[in-house]
Amino acid sequence: MLKNSGIPDAIAEAMIQRGYEKLTPVQEEVIKKNYSGLDLLVSAQTGSGKTIAFGFSIVENILGKDTYFKKSKLPQALIIVPTRELALQVKNELTWFLESCDAKIISCVGGMDIRAEKRNLEMKPNIVVGTPGRLRDHIEGQKLKLQDIKTVVLDEADEMLDMGFKEDLEAILDTTPEEKQTLMFSATVPKTIAKLAKDYQKDAVRITIGKSNAQHVDIEYKAFKIVSSDQENAIINTLRYYEATNSIIFCATRMAVNHMTSRLTNRGISAVALSGELSQNERNMALQAMRSSKARVCVATDVAARGLDLPNLDLVIHADIPRTSDTLLHRSGRTGRAGRKGVCVILVPQNRNRTAERLFGQANIKPHWTLPPTREEILIEDKKRILENKIFEDPIEAEEQDFVDELISKKTINQLAVAYYRLVSKDLSVPEDLKNPSDKRDKNSQNSTFTKSVWFELSVGRDDTAEPRWLVAMLCKAGNLSKRDIGSIKIQTKVTYVEISEQTSNSLLKFVNDKKPIERHIMVKLLKNPPKLDRATSQPSQNKKRRSSKLFLKDKDEEGLNKPKNIDFKGKRKSDRWKKIEKRTKPGSDTSKLSKDKKNNKRSKKIRVKNKKSKMSD
């Protein structure tokens, strides 16, 4: 199909070797139509194969009927992109695409050795790919001369304007010849892009691939309702459920990126961080780890990942809700590229539902609202993946046969199956228990996730500095419980009452029956009925303390006893501002006398003016 699509045979063969079977819609539109030499304004979703599309336009406009690029003193094509990663990616993509044409391509990006770039520019490249800031530096330094440019490409034009490169873009475009082909590619076409196209393009042909702002057909959007405190646990469960070849997690800040990367690494999930504080060498190492499968998860800020293209990226997770619909679309566009399916997950805390719904409406996205994967759902998926593993289809090698026969003779089928399951599962991170955001807690209960419960009494209380956090840890460890199995914890002066789910209460009964301490000297006692709390011995909360102290202060003031200074009769301390106002308005004060003098002066002045007017009239 590629060889009959109007592409030169050598380029079509290169595309076939790279795994291309057919052209994407944007490639078909640009390549098949007769747009040779015309300015184009192309609106297409991220990951639609735009690089190959404008690569073909460059070939058609510069080479014409020629097969190879001719040696030239100055560059003939200029490609401007928003980020370093995208520049290097475009350069690599065009290198194999135009290899048969002997095209010499270089990149000029910030963060790289500028002296090496100057040497590369002196080697007379045919195509220059770069970021706006670095390209402008080379132009002003007289190292990059654009007099012979025939094609200019602005890739991710909307991103460049959003990042504040408008002035740099205008400065670069102003140095290019008037007679040239200008191609603009943008995921969206806001007013700023339309104005830029009007100023620097001549009768541009508008190409829109798919419906404007339509939901990406290759991306499955899901909105996970979570409790705010469960954000990290929800991310871990999502990664475990999908077990994608490559995943990317977007965080709002660099600190969040570093924290999330550490958390995943500690859980045995291979992850790398990508944020603006990294040097170019560190960024390249992180991306290489993803491309070589040494890492499976990239945790990144939005700015650091703009224009990023990772191979086999099947999962995008928005740890924080994006601020704008464009940001949501650009982030999500890291997956579902070039016809490959992908999943995009947005974590939505309880109090951000309306914000998320408004954002989805602006982006014209209709996600599937659901809860994050549970422990049970993840384990089911793990078993499916084991059964569907292609390793079972591989033929037995000759050197393996003897040992296989020995295993079969010495071990049962059950033993072999259990051993295989344990070997496969041992490196998998344990799923987390998540809270249900739809649960409405009982005001008098710390955890109301079960209906039938049993009460236990622990021989430790407030006098022993008992605290829920270490009591929960102790109960979970001793009784092999989870946090969900523990309900209310009522700490009294000498003892503590604990509510345990009836289904899992047997694990604590052994300590009751054997009369053994659950830990050190702490004994457990089973209660037949819910405990009657001793309200008199319970310590009042901090709020109650504050309220009672204010009431006591008010009573004292009303009686006129021991009224502290700077406190009014409502028990509230006066601020310095109100004290100054009170001082100014206090009868007999100097300030009040001054204000009276001013009033008298004004009156006397008015009388004088009135008398003067009456004399003039006479």
CATH 3.40.630.40 is right for the domain spanning 453-537: no
Which residues contact residue 461 at a Cβ distance below 8 angstroms, ignoring those fewer than 6 apart?
491, 492, 493, 494, 495, 496
pLDDT of residue 561: 39
Nearest-angstrom CA–CA distance, 411 and 396 = 18
Residues 12 and 4: beta-carbon distance below 8 Å: no
**Confidence band (pLDDT; 50, 70, 90) for 538?**
very low
H-only helix segments in 297-397? 325-332, 353-363, 375-387
Question: Using the 8-state DSSP alphabet, how is residue 527 labeled?
Answer: E
Looking at the whole model, is its pTM more than 0.75?
no
Sign, CA dihedral 423-428-433-434, equals negative
The winner for highest mean pLDDT among 237-241, 311-315, 332-336, 383-387 is 237-241
More confident residue, 299 or 68: 299
Percent pLDDT > 90 in the chain is: 32
Of the ranges 137-141, 300-304, 395-399, 606-610, the best mean pLDDT one:
137-141
Say if residue 325's pLDDT is above 50. yes
Rounded to whole angstroms, how far apart are CA atoms 612 and 553?
62
Given a cut of 90, whether residue 182 has pLDDT beyond it is yes
pLDDT reported for residue 482: 78
- Size (the chain), residues: 618
Q: Locate the domains of the chain by residue range.
A: 2-208, 219-378, 453-537, 542-574
348's tokens: 């939505």
Contact 240, 429 (CB under 8 A): yes
- Would you place residue 400 in the very low, low, confident or very high pLDDT band (cuts 50, 70, 90)? confident
Distance in angstroms (rounded) separating the CA atoms of residues 151 and 61:
7
pLDDT value of residue 484: 78
Least confident of 168-177, 243-252, 279-288: 279-288
Which range of 35-49, 177-191, 435-449 scores highest in mean pLDDT? It is 177-191
CATH superfamily of 219-378: P-loop containing nucleotide triphosphate hydrolases (3.40.50.300)
Q: Which residue has the higher pLDDT, 247 or 612?
A: 247
pLDDT of residue 517: 84
- Distance (Å, whole) CA 227 – CA 211: 35
Backbone phi and psi for residue 56, each to the nearest 5 degrees, phi listed first: -65, -40
| pLDDT per residue as tens digits for the range 427-458 | 888 888 898 887 654 444 444 455 678 888 99
What does pLDDT average to over the chain?
81
Residue 271's nearest CA partner among 258, 284, 255 is: 258
The more confidently predicted of residues 612 and 95 is 95
Q: Is the CB of residue 177 less than 8 Å from the CB of residue 147?
A: yes
| CA quadruple 163, 150, 110, 334: dihedral sign | positive
Please report, to the nearest 10 degrees, the dihedral formed by the alpha carbons of residues 469, 471, 472, 476 taken in order: 140
pLDDT score of 568: 47
DSSP 281: H
Tell me whether the CATH fold assigned to 2-208 matches the one assigned to 219-378: yes
CA 395 to the chain's CA centroid = 43
Tell me which of 337 and 579 has the higher pLDDT. Answer: 337
Produce one character per residue of 482-518: b if its CB has 16 or more CB atoms within 10 Å, e if not. Answer: eeebbbbbbbbeebbbbbbbeebbeebeebbeeeeeb
Residues 500, 73: Cα–Cα separation, whole Å: 81
For residue 133, give the nearest of 83, 91, 183, 89 by alpha carbon.
Answer: 83
Q: Can you read off the two tokens belonging to residue 457?
A: 């009494």
Q: Which of 175-189, 324-338, 408-422, 600-614 has the lowest mean pLDDT?
A: 600-614
CB-count burial class (<10 Å; 0-12, 13-18, 19+) for 226: buried
> Quick one: average pLDDT of 494-499?
90
Give Cα 91 to chain centroid, integer Å. Answer: 27
Burial track 267-291 (b if 16+ CB lie within 10 A, e otherwise) = eebebbbbbeebeeeebbebbebbe
Map 420-435 to HEC letters: HHHHHHCCCCCCCCCC
Q: Give the per-residue pLDDT at 543.
A: 43
Q: d(Cα 269, Cα 262) in Å, to the nearest integer?
A: 10
> For the chain, how far is it from start to end, CA to CA, in angstroms?
109
Q: Which residue reads 């830990």 in tokens?
A: 519
> What's the confidence (pLDDT) of residue 474?
85
Fold of the domain spanning 2-208: Rossmann fold (3.40.50)
